[in-house]
Amino acid sequence: MNTIYAIQINKLSFGVLKILDIKIGMTINIKNTLAGYRRSSPEAELLNLWEANSSQALKICETGVHLIAEKCAYQRKREKFIFLQNNYDDFAKNISLLLKEVTALESISLPLISCLINKKTINIFGTTHGKKYNAQLINLKQVRLNHKIFKTPTPAAVSICGYPTNGWDFWKFISNGKIKTISGLRSKK
């Protein structure tokens, strides 16, 4: 799968100030790309991975990502950007609104993963214990959370909450700028 990546090469901290050294580029094999960065920077970490819009060429999407990164970053040298932590977080959120965010596992072209990606998915999220969890609702029934597939939303919600909860009310999604529970999607099945 052709993807655009953001890999953190270095992270510096000065008190509460965090500075991120990020490489942004495109790849067809994130596993090999990340391994290449780790040869020279063992602490290299994949932060985000986006799938190019099907209506645009990958190179055009990468150029657009670079232009937005340049506006948010403190400094740029080719594909290397220096961000303050908050600026990178804002950048990543905006790119995720424009391009589909995928996981490294989804970018590996295995038959099982390919099969999952072709199903209808909706990005969902839930918050518990002060932490936000992102997941995908597949075919309005299954939930993919941390590379694991749950048959229904409830076991996925319980796995992160640690207590009984109704997954249809726990998981939410954004529609037309409004946060809604996935329970409203059940009748549309």
d(CA 60, CA 76): 19
- pTM, rounded to two decimals: 0.54
Tens digit of each residue's pLDDT (9 = 90 or more) over 112-124:
333 334 446 788 9
Q: What pLDDT, on the 0 to 100 scale, is given for residue 3?
A: 86
Task: Find all residues with CB under 8 Å of 75, minimum gap 6, and list them.
Answer: 81, 82
Tens digit of each residue's pLDDT (9 = 90 or more) over 7-44:
999 888 888 888 989 999 998 888 889 889 999 998 89
How does residue 1 score in pLDDT terms, banded at 50, 70 and 90? low
How does residue 189 score in pLDDT terms, banded at 50, 70 and 90? very low
Closest by CA position to 128, among listed 97, 166, 101, 95: 166
168: three-class secondary structure by DSSP: helix
Which tokens belong to 41? Answer: 């920077």
C-beta separation of 17 from 63 below 8 A: no
